[in-house]
Structure 1
């Protein structure tokens, strides 16, 4: 079968720079994912050379780190070391390589790692999770929804080509590493190759598609008529509340907006903007009189402000309109 496009290569110190022809490889690639560390204590010997050489040939770069934290504080330290080592290269995506059980609750530990990277300034953080360890470690589509990308390996016959063998742990993933035996001009040896396996664009991973490119913005309050359990869900649910604040935006998914750090996910078909204007209720005000004075319907005011009893407002209350 033909090699899938885009061509995505991941490399580490196991591919020595002296054996790589970066110019030839760059003619074959769309982007490269470079290992920075194996836990905190082992910095990849050649990651800086790989980053500099591929950048010189205008190849977009992501970075990854093998996760080895033994508790939450150790996960935070690994995240800080990872960020410190790679930040000056401004990678467009940061990946956690999750293949080894190093603490009891790997889902929680890796979430601490992910959040620390975000706090430090990493805009997009994804997870590479061993297919055979995904469920063993407790991962699920719900547990991974905070990651900006999911990357899973499955090789099949591992012929070097993609032959249709896909990950089995979950159907929710963005990249698929389909071989560890790939061949590209510019290196005389086996290489890890991956393919794009979701609707997200190449630009989303390579830095040309801003995570916040949207008609809505982080921190904006919105009115909603329905909500989804995940960014990829197609099942519309009844929301617990009719409004919320956008706390995360991702691209390339059906429901790109996360409300209130976990209330649920929405898209533009079920949401509308709430104005930033407020009115302070005065003694003797009624909702209908306030609405008339503001030029809106009392029903809209009741809905925007989640008034269970429209006849009950009180002096000093702030009404959104």
Structure 2
């Protein structure tokens, strides 16, 4: 009887220990899985062209990827189109970034527009501003111009600002509030306390899917915050034909520019009232137009003569010198 009781107690202790160990193992596994699912990579031509297998494996390793589209406006990333096509094939969502080289507000606006037209279906957009080509006195205005130019094009999709903390404070502290979130680059042991939605903590994270070390960041918002949805595939022609609008669900759609019925009726009414006076004015202007046409013909003859003079000029071939773009400097 004593032996049976001892055996019973022993078995109870073993079962209890096994259950505790099991729970610990489950908690450890879940923590690892959650950490993995909240880690994203940013990829460019420095990581090379993805293979089908790598893109397929990425879909199981990261919630989304962030692709570089351009280095300033003049240089397009050589792997973007290829990698984007494979991510689309294996349903890996992606955001995009532009390594900024603007030196004025005008060039900042141009870079923002080029980023959108090169990647109109991205889930979100990033201004990667970490090397200054502009003075401190003008950098905040240019950085604000970048986001203000992109905003009406992307609807309700997120626009982020990426940089190191010291650089941001020096060149973009005032403009930062215009962005939806801050993607903080800080290769430190402890995560900085400043508010941010992404923390790029290393450039040496080993990716099992890619079999190489990559830049990695931790999500500080839910996956859905970054991605939303894009309801329609968009092309440059669609943008020129209609107006892009964002709805409450984060969708971005193309809708034709519409005029209300009241405004239309008002325009018709005003047109009818002015029609009689316009006829009189048109009659008076008819004679003036004839003299303008004669002057126009003379001007055209002069242009042709000017073209003949310059026809003999030799055309010099432009030599395209490929610049080497150095990898991001890390502070």
Question: Normalising by structure 2, what TM-score?
Answer: 0.55
Residue in structure 1 matching 2:91, options 58, 61, 82: 58
Residue 111 of structure 2 is matched in structure 1 by: 78
Residue in structure 2 matching 1:11, options 27, 39, 43: 43
Please state whether the residue corresponding to 2:207 is helix, strand or coil.
Answer: coil
Residue in structure 2 matching 1:173, options 196, 216, 231: 196
Please state whether the residue corresponding to 2:123 is helix, strand or coil.
Answer: coil
Please state whether the residue corresponding to 1:55 is helix, strand or coil.
Answer: helix
> Which stretches of structure 1, 4 residues or more, deviate above 3 A after TM superposition?
1-5, 248-251
* Alignment check: 8 A CA contact 1:165 1:178 kept: no
Deviation, 1:201, is 2.2
Q: Map 1:1-321 onto structure 2 (within 5 A).
A: 3=35, 5-17=37-49, 21-87=54-120, 90-104=121-135, 105-122=138-155, 123-139=157-173, 143-156=175-188, 164-167=189-192, 171-197=194-220, 200-208=221-229
Deviation, 1:26, is 2.0
Determine which structure has the larger helix proportion and give its number. Answer: 2
CA distance in 1, matches of 2:39, 2:230: 18
CA distance in 2, matches of 1:4, 1:21: 17
Deviation, 1:208, is 4.2
* Alignment check: 8 A CA contact 1:4 1:195 kept: no
The one-character-per-residue Cα deviations of 1:286-312 (angstroms, maximum 9, x if unpaired) are xxxxxxxxxxxxxxxxxxxxxxxxxxx
Deviation, 1:34, is 0.4
Deviation, 1:108, is 1.4
CA RMSD of aligned residues (A): 2.6
* Alignment check: 8 A CA contact 1:128 1:151 kept: yes
C-alpha change, 1:166 and 1:208, in structure 2 (3 Å) is same
The one-character-per-residue Cα deviations of 1:160-206 (angstroms, maximum 9, x if unpaired) are xxxx5213xx6111100111001111223210111112xx3210101
| Deviates most, 122-131 or 68-77 | 122-131
Deviation, 1:107, is 1.9
Determine which structure has the larger strand proportion and give its number. Answer: 1
Please state whether the residue corresponding to 2:176 is helix, strand or coil.
Answer: coil
Question: Normalising by structure 1, what TM-score?
Answer: 0.57
* Alignment check: 8 A CA contact 2:67 2:96 kept: yes
CA distance in 2, matches of 1:83, 1:179: 27
Mind listing any 5+ residue stretches in structure 2 that lack a counterpart?
A: 1-30, 232-245, 250-331
CA distance in 2, matches of 1:165, 1:76: 35
The one-character-per-residue Cα deviations of 1:130-176 (angstroms, maximum 9, x if unpaired) are 22312121415xx42221121001112xxxxxxx5213xx6111100
Mind listing any 5+ residue stretches in structure 1 that lack a counterpart?
A: 157-163, 211-247, 252-321
Residue 324 of structure 2 is matched in structure 1 by: none
Q: In terms of Rg, which structure is larger? A: 2
CA distance in 2, matches of 1:28, 1:138: 33
CA distance in 2, matches of 1:173, 1:250: 23
Q: How many residues are treated as equivalent by the alignment?
A: 199
